Amino acid sequence: MIKNLQQIKLNGRTIIEKLKVITPLRQSPEFDDEACFLFFSEGSSEIVSPTERISILEHESVLLKCGTYLADLFQNTETGICEVCVIHLFPDILEKIFKDEIPFFVKHQKSDRYSFRLSKRNAINHFIESLNFYFDNPGLAKEELVYLKIKELVLLLLHTEAANSIIDLYSYLFTPQQANIVEVVESHLYADLNIEQLAFLARQSLSSFKRNFKKHFNDTPANYIRNKRLQKAADLLSYSSYTINEICFHIGYEDSVHFSKIFQKKFGILPSKYRNASK
Distance CA 69, CA 50 (A): 7
CB atoms within 10 A of CB 248: 23
Can you give the pLDDT of all 279 residues of the chain as single tens digits? Answer: 888 999 999 888 999 999 999 888 888 988 888 889 999 999 999 999 998 899 999 999 998 888 889 999 999 888 888 999 999 988 888 888 877 665 455 554 555 667 778 777 788 999 999 999 999 888 888 899 999 999 899 888 877 665 665 566 566 566 655 678 999 999 999 998 999 999 999 989 999 999 999 999 999 999 999 999 999 999 999 998 889 999 998 898 888 899 999 999 999 999 999 998 876
Specify whether the CB–CB gap between 61 and 14 falls below 8 A.
Answer: no
Superfamily of domain 181-278: Homeodomain-like (1.10.10.60)
Residues 6+ apart with CB under 8 A from 60: 39, 40, 44, 117, 118, 119, 120
CA distances from 58 to 5, 8, 77 (A): 19, 23, 11
Count Cβ atoms within 10 A of the Cβ of residue 178 and give its class: 0-12 exposed, 13-18 middle, 19 or more buried: middle
Count Cβ atoms within 10 A of the Cβ of residue 40 and give its class: 0-12 exposed, 13-18 middle, 19 or more buried: buried
pTM, to two decimals: 0.79
Domain boundaries, the chain: 2-170, 181-278
Closest CA to 77 of 94, 93, 57: 57
Q: Which fold has domain 2-170?
A: Jelly Rolls (2.60.120)
